[in-house]
């Protein structure tokens, strides 16, 4: 019995659109999940995140276990109450950031021991502890701990990580226990680098264990857009049709479009929020760098097709001024806009799939943004 | 003919409550004006500033003339449109910040020449140029350029600055011209340090010139709370009853209460916004430092008597977490709360004056916060 229901309302080629149902709310798919790293989608009020159209946000187990700590969040009533986001939350396992952010001390069959990037304190993460943390946080969709390999890597390294990840996935499923009765779901994570054989093997092993949904991990880690898309095309057919597929940590707008065309349902990425804080905006014609002096006297809106407050109420000249002056409002408005852009993109894809016009949507998007999204300016 | 109408609806001792009417909107007095230094009240959307109850915001001529520049703002349609604040804006003359922020190059009868704190470029500010800038910005209430002396200072220094300020006030009035016909107002600024004789002389000279309102400048510059209040008590009786009085750059909550008790109608101060960004909150019982570990597990609201989002939707523990993690949302929520606190304080004073209970309000506030506002914690 899964606490997560997945309805596919329409398909167009490999692309599908539908609903993930959880007790805390529905998630329209394909879905983009804004990243709320440390119990906040940076520079946004949660009601503003919701206003962009987000149905679910992501929390980072690594960050939350270090600060404020999972037990503290539990004592305070859980992550939803803590951060005032009553809708679904997906948490990652913490593994990816242990490897990318911390001083990794020791990796073993049991798990990983690492030092916090905040204060150097030593911590332990195992499949069981990761699930315990995610349960303490109150996460609606929990992820298994896996070993993610940076690419390029040898097949032997990738295979070894894959095998460990499968063993950890089993332990995670056991640790997850009967949380379905509490309305919670658990996703497995397919590994295997860019090797189709290993990807299919990983998928088969996870399906054998059985999860509420399947993530595709270990991509966007250095392999490039083409290799990522090719790997996706080999991986999604190996996953159950009737369960949601989540491509972790991806990506640029064109990545999302190409991934949806290959049957992916869910995404998360820091790109819209991080870019917003850095003065970059995603618009229909590409990306804009608001530090560029050509915006200094531009009275026009950031994106005339966008209904977010940054586009509705302000000029590019004002946003340029805010970014140049390092004003917090610049980060607030550009983050809001970028999240709106991503949600509008997902809504556009859902509508195109429903209408059976998704191939034209993809072709148009490719033509508009180019194969690797040429920047509208530097 | 003044573009600014001032109605006093009730008085209680020297305290008064009423309305300043300008074409762009009404200002309920006593009024607190949030500071929007560089065309943004830091970390706040303008609709949120309005939601706290603010009727008017302040813009800093010094900052705006350097970046983005007054001519640019004018080409973009003026400051109101630029920053999306359609209600009244008061701008200072730039003089105070030339003296406190820039490398002051030369002061003369004509004006001041200084170097920008941003890029070292040389700029000139005269009474005429200050008014020109404020007009280009589209300011509803403009301020005369004055010379503000840091205290303590000798009577001779203070008198010399006062005399120059009066001559500059005359030049400012001339430069202001017929802007009343465009709905704009000009305030003079009383100087004179803590010397009652000089304060009364300055007030008389300004009243002789004739302004739409009168500011009290040169306070909160090192003289201390008691001397400031004593000076106010000597100054406000020398100002016309039927024109608004504005105490510049002040201050702590108790300063505002004591100043209203001495007949002041308008205030501005960076304290609520700056403190918010630094993790400090004003609450009914004093001030709280949200970095203090005693808040780490506190599930209660910042201030149970406050209706702002920070108090309504979050725990002190969450705010502690945001501040400790240097999250932008911490600055956003604490700024919002502090501005709400200040606006609620003004609303409370207006209600007490209307009800004829202002002396009890003042006594209660003094008792609650102590003579100099003892902190609720470090």
Q: ipTM of the assembly?
A: 0.97
Which chain A residues have a beta carbon less than 8 Å from that of B331? Answer: 328
Percentage of residues in chain A having pLDDT higher than 90: 91
Which region, left, alpha or beta, applies to residue B163 given φ > 0 means left and ψ of -120 to 50 means alpha?
alpha
Main-chain dihedrals φ then ψ at residue B262, nearest 5 degrees? -105, 20
**Is pLDDT of A201 > 80?**
yes
Positions of chain B with pLDDT under 50: 371-378
CA distance A202 to A194: 12
Q: A34-46 burial, b for 16+ CB within 10 Å, e for fewer?
A: bbbbbbbbbbbbb
Asked if the Cβ–Cβ distance from A42 to B75 is below 8 Å, we say no
Q: Which residue of A has its CA nearest to B77?
A: A299
Separation in Å, CA of B36 to nearest CA in chain A: 11
Checking A110-114 for CB contacts under 8 A at 24+ apart, the result is A111/A145
Asked if A102 and A109 count as a contact pair (C-beta separation under 8 A), the reply is no
Mean pLDDT calculated for residue range A56-68: 97
CA distance B93 to B113: 14
Mean pLDDT calculated for residue range A320-344: 98
CA distance A320 to A324: 6
Chain B residues near any Cβ of chain A (below 8 Å): 38-40, 42-45, 67-68, 72, 75-77, 82-84, 277, 296-297, 299, 309, 313-315, 317-318, 321-322, 324-325, 327-329, 331-332
Asked if the Cβ–Cβ distance from A72 to B313 is below 8 Å, we say no
Asked if the Cβ–Cβ distance from B329 to A38 is below 8 Å, we say no
The catalytic site residues of B sit at 92, 268
Percentage of residues in chain A having pLDDT higher than 70: 98
Look at the block and give the residue holding tokens 């560029």.
Answer: A292
What tokens does B305 get?
A: 């008597």
**Residue B274: helix, strand or coil by DSSP?**
helix
Which residue among B76, B314, B315 sits closest to A299, beta carbon to beta carbon? B76
Mean pLDDT calculated for residue range A363-375: 71
Tell me whether strands B266-268 and A280-283 are parallel, antiparallel or unpaired. unpaired
Q: Which residue of B has its CA nearest to A277?
A: B328
Asked if the Cβ–Cβ distance from B328 to A299 is below 8 Å, we say no
The catalytic site residues of A sit at 92, 268
Q: Please provide the distance, in angstroms rounded to a whole number, between the alpha carbons at the two ends of chain B.
A: 51
Q: What is the pTM of this model?
A: 0.97
Which chain B residues have a beta carbon less than 8 Å from that of A325? Answer: 38, 67
Look at the block and give the residue holding tokens 């298994």.
Answer: A144
Asked if the Cβ–Cβ distance from B321 to A38 is below 8 Å, we say yes
Asked if B240 and B207 count as a contact pair (C-beta separation under 8 A), the reply is yes
Residue A188: CB atoms within 10 A of its CB come to: 31
Per-residue confidence at A171, pLDDT binned at 50, 70, 90?
very high
Look at the block and give the residue holding tokens 């704009």.
Answer: B184
Main-chain dihedrals φ then ψ at residue B11, nearest 5 degrees? -130, 155
What tokens does A87 get?
A: 């809708």
Asked if the Cβ–Cβ distance from B328 to A75 is below 8 Å, we say no
DSSP state of B245: E
pLDDT tens digits for A79-127? 999 999 999 999 999 999 998 887 877 999 999 999 999 999 999 999 9
Asked if the Cβ–Cβ distance from A315 to B76 is below 8 Å, we say yes
Residue A7: CB atoms within 10 A of its CB come to: 12
DSSP state of B181: G
Sheet holding A266-268, edge to edge: A31-33, A266-268, A245-247, A213-216, A185-190, A141-143, A89-91, A57-59
Which chain A residues have a beta carbon less than 8 Å from that of B40? Answer: 322, 327, 329
HEC letters along chain A: CCCCEEEEEEEECCEEEEEEEECCEEEEECEEECECCCCCCCCCCHHHHHHCCCCCEEECHHHHHHCCCHHHHHHCCCHHHHHCCCCCEEECCCHHHHHHHCEEEEECCCCEEEECCCCCCEEEECHHHHHHHHHHHCCCEEECCCCCCCCCCCHHHHHHHHHHHHHHHHHHHHHHCCHHHHCCEEEEEECCCCCHHHHHHHHHHHHHHCCCEEEECCCCCCCCHHHHHHHHHHHHHHCCCCCCEEECCCCCHHHHHHHHHCCCCEEECCHHHHHHHCCEEEECCEEEECCCHHHCCCCCCCCCCCCCHHHHHCCHHHHHHHHHCCCHHHHHHHHHHHHHHHHHHHHHHHHHHHHCCHHHHHHHHHHHHCCCCCCCCC
What tokens does B256 get?
A: 């505002």
CA distance B318 to B297: 8
CA distance B19 to B242: 11
Q: Looking at residue A378, what is its pLDDT?
A: 34
Asked if the Cβ–Cβ distance from B82 to A327 is below 8 Å, we say no
CA distance A215 to A231: 13
**Residue B74: helix, strand or coil by DSSP?**
helix
Which residue among A43, A67, A309 sits closest to B329, beta carbon to beta carbon? A43
Q: Which segment of A209-213, A241-245, B145-149 scores lowest on mean pLDDT?
A: B145-149
Which chain A residues have a beta carbon less than 8 Å from that of B332? Answer: 43, 45, 328, 332
**Is pLDDT of A149 > 90?**
no
Residue of B42, B325, B331 for testing the chain A interface, max A β-carbons within 10 Å: B325
What tokens does A268 get?
A: 């998360």
CA distance A254 to A272: 13
Separation in Å, CA of B137 to nearest CA in chain A: 14
Asked if B7 and B21 count as a contact pair (C-beta separation under 8 A), the reply is yes
**Is pLDDT of A371 > 70?**
no
Asked if the Cβ–Cβ distance from A67 to B313 is below 8 Å, we say no
Q: Looking at residue B373, what is its pLDDT?
A: 44
Q: Which residue of B has its CA nearest to A300?
A: B76
Asked if B79 and B24 count as a contact pair (C-beta separation under 8 A), the reply is no
Chain A residues near any Cβ of chain B (below 8 Å): 38-40, 42-45, 67-68, 72, 75-77, 82-84, 277, 296-297, 299, 309, 313-315, 317-318, 321-322, 324-325, 327-329, 331-332
Asked if the Cβ–Cβ distance from A43 to B328 is below 8 Å, we say yes
Longest alpha-carbon distance in chain A: 60
Kindly list the structural domains of chain B, giving each domain's residue range(s) and its CATH number in brackets, ordered by start: 5-269 (3.20.20.105), 276-369 (no CATH)
**Residue B299: helix, strand or coil by DSSP?**
coil
Asked if the Cβ–Cβ distance from B296 to A72 is below 8 Å, we say yes
Which chain B residues have a beta carbon less than 8 Å from that of A39? Answer: 318, 321
Per-residue confidence at A368, pLDDT binned at 50, 70, 90?
confident
By the 10 Å C-beta count (0-12 exposed, 13-18 middle, 19+ buried), B208 is classed as: exposed
Separation in Å, CA of B132 to nearest CA in chain A: 20
Contact partners, residue B356, CB within 8 Å, separation at least 6: B10, B12
Asked if B362 and B261 count as a contact pair (C-beta separation under 8 A), the reply is yes
Look at the block and give the residue holding tokens 């037990």.
Answer: A71
């Amino acid at each position: 019995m899964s606490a997560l229901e997945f309805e596919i309302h329409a398909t167009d080629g490999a692309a599908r659109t539908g609903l993930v149902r959880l007790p805390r709310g529905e998630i329209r798919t394909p879905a983009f999940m804004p990243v709320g790293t440390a119990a906040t989608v940076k520079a946004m009020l949660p009601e503003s995140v919701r206003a962009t159209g987000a149905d679910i946000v992501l929390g980072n187990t690594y960050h939350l276990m270090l600060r404020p700590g999972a037990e503290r969040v539990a004592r305070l009533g859980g992550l939803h109450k803590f951060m005032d986001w009553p809708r679904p939350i997906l948490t990652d396992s913490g593994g990816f950031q242990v490897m990318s952010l911390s001083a990794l001390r020791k990796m073993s069959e049991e798990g990983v021991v690492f030092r916090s990037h905040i204060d150097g304190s030593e911590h332990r993460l195992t499949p069981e502890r990761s699930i315990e943390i995610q349960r303490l946080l109150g996460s609606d969709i929990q992820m298994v701990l896996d070993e993610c390999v940076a690419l390029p890597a040898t097949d032997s390294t990738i295979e070894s990580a894959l095998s460990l990840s499968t063993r950890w996935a089993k332990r995670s499923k056991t640790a997850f226990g009967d949380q379905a009765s509490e309305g919670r779901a658990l996703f497995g994570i397919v590994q295997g680098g860019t090797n189709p054989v290993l990807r299919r093997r990983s998928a088969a092993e996870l399906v054998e264990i059985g999860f509420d949904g399947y993530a595709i991990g270990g991509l966007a880690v250095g392999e490039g857009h083409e290799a990522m898309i090719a790997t996706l095309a080999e991986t999604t057919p190996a996953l159950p049709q009737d369960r949601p597929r989540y491509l972790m940590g991806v990506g640029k707008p064109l990545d999302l479009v190409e991934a949806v065309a290959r049957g992916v349902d869910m995404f998360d990425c820091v790109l819209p929020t991080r870019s917003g804080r850095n003065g970059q905006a995603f618009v229909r014609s590409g990306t804009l760098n608001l530090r560029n002096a050509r915006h200094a006297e531009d009275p026009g809106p950031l994106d005339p097709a966008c209904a977010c407050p940054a586009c509705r109420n302000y000029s590019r000249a004002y946003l340029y001024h805010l970014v140049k002056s390092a004003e917090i409002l610049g980060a607030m408005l550009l983050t809001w806009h970028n999240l709106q852009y991503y949600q509008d993109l997902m809504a556009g894809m859902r509508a195109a799939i429903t209408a059976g016009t998704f191939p034209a949507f993809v072709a148009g998007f490719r033509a508009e943004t180019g194969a690797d999204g040429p920047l509208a300016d530097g």
